[in-house]
Structure 1
Amino acid sequence: MRIVDTHLHLVYPERFAYPWLDGVPALNKPHRLEDYRREAAGLGIEAALHMEVDVAEAEMEAETRFVLGLGPPIVGAIASCRPEHAGFPAFLERVVAIPGVKGFRRILHTSPDDLSGSATFVHNLRRLAPLGLPFDLCVLARQLAVGRALVEACPDVSFVLDHCGVPDIAGGLDPWRAEIAAMARLPNVSVKLSGIVAYAGPDWTVETLRPYAEHAIGSFGADRVVWGSDAPVCTLGASLTRWVEATHALLAGFPETEKAAILSGNATRIYKL
């Protein structure tokens, strides 16, 4: 079945600075398109969106331009941004003019909880609504209420909640379960089935992941779920191949139409591919 990967990270350390990788030695090395392409080709992944990799702030725009020139299977990019800055409108105008920009993200899970609550942040993020561009929301499970407040403050903006809201799988379903249900009640947010293998511990099985995947899908509905590899971050818990295999196992009981929506159809609609 055709797959659109909505969450591919590429790392080119000879071109860009990735300050956060100093703290993650297992990932602190090149991750190039040719490496991903080689593995993805046999897995049904026909298209991919590059997800910004939190490069040094001065290099955000350059990263977007670079990855969009790399070629297939990349069909677009979700660009890094800083809505908390007064200069955001000018930045936005430049970046949306780049062919292939399909959305934006500002990393929040490693930022102060009050960052996204400022009037400047909210006002600037609302600028995405008339452009029809979604905002990927990356928050920890304990920050889901913070993320929900941002979604509520920007009702005309489309949001995609990354990594099923980053559940603490070792710690159990609660209070993540209730927070996901609350987030799903907001009509302008979808959820991304991605990333959870990186938080599942080394001995995870499909059954370890199943309660989290099924609750996220059940809460949002199959028409508001997209899939992402989170490569290469997924390799902290599994290879790309194993994550794709686990995804198929998790979706085995779903109707074919819903599986197709989750794996490609919803991404095509939400990111306007």
Structure 2
Amino acid sequence: MIIVDAHQHYWQPSRGDYGWLADAPEALRAAFLPADLQAQRKAAGVTASVLVQAAPTEPETRYLFELAQQDAGVVGVIGWVDMEAVDVEARIDALIRDGNGLLCGLRPMAQDLADPDWLASPALDRAFDCIQARGLAFDALVGMPQLPALLRRLQRQPALRVVLDHAGKPSIGEAPIALWANWIDQLSAHPQLYCKLSGLLTQLSGTTHEEAIAPYAQHLFASFGSTRLIWGSDWPVLTLRASFEHWLRLAQTYTERYAPGTQADVFAANAVRCYALKLDTHS
């Protein structure tokens, strides 16, 4: 079976534009580059991956295009653009050109912004219109504080193809599941919204056992079904809790438990469809 990792990162801290790493665990402050992942990915049986931005700069997106040339497994890049720039359309077009077919989506780091309502700002309408017109996906890197604004954006632009990163980052083992589940129910009512089955291990609080993820996975399958869930590793952030292969096998276990017979969709076909990846999942 072809497996696509729809969410992984590479980064080089010496570039100087990964500000969030200053407050990250020390284990993440190193460089993570193609040579650090390729053997693990091959051993786990993962065919291809989508590389996701980790710095809020357009030069970092172009750096990812360069790294993709060193890693034949990368079939798409989700980049960053200044969505408030007056020339945002030209900036997006330039990234599409420079990516030479690799750019498949854009992701602002909304979870790190002071204004939780930023995603709903009318000042972003032109950027969202351009993302939609260019056939790109919008990756929503949000936590619970930003979910109301994301919902308002979906209501205003129902045709926008959106991917909810890391299931909206629930606090597993720390906060009641009900509030998160209510937001997931409202968001999943929008048929153009996909959700990543990713990042859940690192959402576990303290010493909470990984089996605490099960009711969250069950709710995701109940809300999105097997046609709008997309698996991603979130490597190397994943390494704070588990190995690449461990999370893959755990996600496969949950998929077989809550949506038997749908592995090909969750682990490949949905990502290919959502991001319009040039990958034949039937080969």
- TM-score, normalisation: structure 1: 0.93
The aligned residue for residue 236 of structure 1 is: 240
1:168 to 165, 171, 178: 171
1:147 aligns with 2:150: yes
CA apart distance, 1:70: 2.1
The aligned residue for residue 112 of structure 2 is: 110
The aligned residue for residue 138 of structure 1 is: 141
- TM-score, normalisation: structure 2: 0.90
1:158 aligns with 2:161: yes
Aligned equivalents of 1:92, 1:257: Cα separation in 2: 38
Aligned equivalents of 2:200, 2:255: Cα separation in 1: 15
How many residues are paired up? 272
1:61-82 deviations in whole A, cap 9, x for unaligned?
A: 4324323322221111011122
3-state SS of 1:77 partner: strand
For 1:45, the aligned partner's letter is: V
CA apart distance, 1:195: 0.4
The aligned residue for residue 264 of structure 2 is: 260
3-state SS of 2:178 partner: coil
1:220 aligns with 2:224: yes
CA apart distance, 1:15: 4.0
- Residues 6 and 50, structure 2, Cα contact 8 Å, conserved in 1: yes
* Distance verdict in 2 for CA 1:168–1:244, change over 3 Å: same
Aligned equivalents of 1:164, 1:61: Cα separation in 2: 23
Aligned equivalents of 1:131, 1:90: Cα separation in 2: 12
Aligned equivalents of 2:27, 2:71: Cα separation in 1: 27
2:125 to 122, 127, 131: 122
Aligned equivalents of 2:105, 2:58: Cα separation in 1: 19
1:177 aligns with 2:181: yes
Q: Which structure 2 residue ranges, 5 or more long, are not aligned? A: 278-283
1:21 aligns with 2:21: yes
The aligned residue for residue 280 of structure 2 is: none
1:248 aligns with 2:252: yes
For 1:12, the aligned partner's letter is: Q
Q: Which structure 1 residue ranges, 5 or more long, are not aligned? A: none
- Residues 9 and 236, structure 2, Cα contact 8 Å, conserved in 1: yes
- Residues 122 and 153, structure 1, Cα contact 8 Å, conserved in 2: no
Aligned equivalents of 2:204, 2:167: Cα separation in 1: 13
The percentage of counterpart residues that share the same residue type is 27
CA apart distance, 1:256: 5.3
Aligned equivalents of 2:58, 2:189: Cα separation in 1: 37
Aligned equivalents of 2:224, 2:259: Cα separation in 1: 16
